[in-house]
Amino acid sequence: MGKMKLKIKFFREGPHSTLCDEEFYDAVETGLDKIDEENQLRDRLKQKVVSIPTSPTTSAAKHRLWPEIDKVSTEQLHYARLGVGGAGGWQLFAEDGDMRMYRREEEADGLVVDPLKACHVVKGVTGHEVCNIFYSPEYRSGWEATLEDMTVVEKISDDTLVFLQTHKRIWPASQRDALFWSHIRRVSDDQDPDAHDLWIVCNHSTEYTEHPPNAGKCVRVYLTVCLVCQTFIDPPKEGSEITRDDITCKITYCSVVNPGGWAPAAVLRAVYKREYPKFLKRFTSYCIDQCKDKPILF
Ligand code: 9M6
């Protein structure tokens, strides 16, 4: 697809935008390409260390959000484990090696909220390691290519954090931010005590009076995301230890993002189609890279 350089003096986001979908998408694509270039440059530079606030931690179970955290995490785990065949209506839209991405076309109040479900198989890492990297703020900027800023608004417990993130602006769309709790847990399978534990991270939008939505230049997005991982280990050879070559991690990633404000449906769908596969490939290769020289965390 040839990139047009558009010379547009006046434009606005919204249903009265002076850009047609194609022009809007060309502009978005150019914006995304620019972010890619910046990231490639940044990847080669040393990573900045993110500090986590050391506020006193409470037990998550006593927190006002706990009933919701527990309910949504359990629901999301169940939802992630359902297959993509049959009546679910999932359509395959991207495939690359062992990675498969499915979506369902859905709208809410005229906004695209297409649910996404992705399956991937990654060798050399455990589910515990992958979930730790997805959850922990110190890794976030290493794999989140569209991240501009991230703060931990509250540490509810070691396994539950609340994040406020701003994403890089993709011109001509408004910049987006997201405020969500993130919860990590191990789930043991009572039906199959021999099976390896599952690990899940669930991210879900929340509200804080201190951080009202759409107050500044950002439009707030609303998300429900879950990452579910299971580790498989090849039977160890006689007298030898398990190495990373014997480990396989099966990943399911489910995401529903409400863009919060208007954007042309066709443009959003094109952005999803372009960004999700890149996102999951970048995340999983980051995990492999981070883990390769470290002892295995089962
Ligand atoms: C909406 C991932 C948290 C990791 C997460 C996200 C995605 C669209 C998108 N872009 C309108 C947008 C905004 C998003 O897995 S997470 O929880 O660090 C959270 C939010 C992605 C936020 C759009 C920007 C304009 C496309 C779907 C997208 C997919 C993947 C990566 C980046």
The domain segmentation of the chain, as residue ranges, is 21-43+65-291
Mean of pLDDT over the chain: 88
Is 275 close to ligand 1, i.e. is its CB under 6 Å away?
A: yes
Rg (CA), the chain: 20
How many other CB atoms sit within 10 Å of the CB of residue 173?
22
Sequence-distant (6+) residues with CB within 8 A of 193 are none
CA distance 164 to 125: 28
Q: For the whole model, what pTM was predicted?
A: 0.86
Q: What is the mean pLDDT of residues 149-163?
A: 96
Q: Cβ(198)–Cβ(207) under 8 Å?
A: no
Is 146 close to ligand 1, i.e. is its CB under 6 Å away?
A: yes
Q: What is the mean pLDDT of residues 177-184?
A: 98
144 has pLDDT over 80: yes
- For ligand 1, the distance from its centroid to the CA atom of residue 257, given in whole angstroms, is 7
Topology classification of domain 21-43+65-291: Alpha-D-Glucose-1,6-Bisphosphate; Chain A, domain 4 (3.30.530)
Ligand 1 pocket test, pick from 112, 223, 268 with the greatest ligand atom count within 8 Å of Cβ, gives 223
- For ligand 1, the distance from its centroid to the CA atom of residue 62, given in whole angstroms, is 30
Closest CA to 103 of 219, 244, 271: 271
- For ligand 1, the distance from its centroid to the CA atom of residue 30, given in whole angstroms, is 18
Is 259 close to ligand 1, i.e. is its CB under 6 Å away?
A: yes
Ligand 1 atom 28, closest CA: 275
Ligand 1 pocket test, pick from 36, 103, 105, 146 with the greatest ligand atom count within 8 Å of Cβ, gives 146
Helix (H) or strand (E) holding 231: strand 222-233
Q: What is the mean pLDDT of residues 209-222?
A: 96
Q: What is the pLDDT of residues 27-66, one digit of tens each?
A: 889 999 999 888 888 777 655 444 444 344 557 888 999 9
15 has pLDDT over 60: yes
End-to-end CA distance of the chain: 45
Q: What is the pLDDT of residues 80-97, one digit of tens each?
A: 999 898 788 999 999 999
Ligand 1 atom nearest to CA at 165 = 18
CA distance 168 to 36: 11
User: For residue 166, how many C-alpha atoms fall within 13 Å in the half-sphere facing its CB?
Assistant: 14
- Separation of CA 59 from chain center: 25
3 has pLDDT over 80: no
Q: What is the pLDDT of residues 226-254, one digit of tens each?
A: 999 999 999 888 888 999 999 999 999 99
Q: Which residues pair with 247 in a beta bridge?
A: 233
Give me the percent of the chain exceeding a pLDDT of 70: 88
213 has pLDDT over 90: yes
pLDDT at res. 122: 98
Q: Cβ(68)–Cβ(159) under 8 Å?
A: no
Ligand 1 atom 3, closest CA: 144
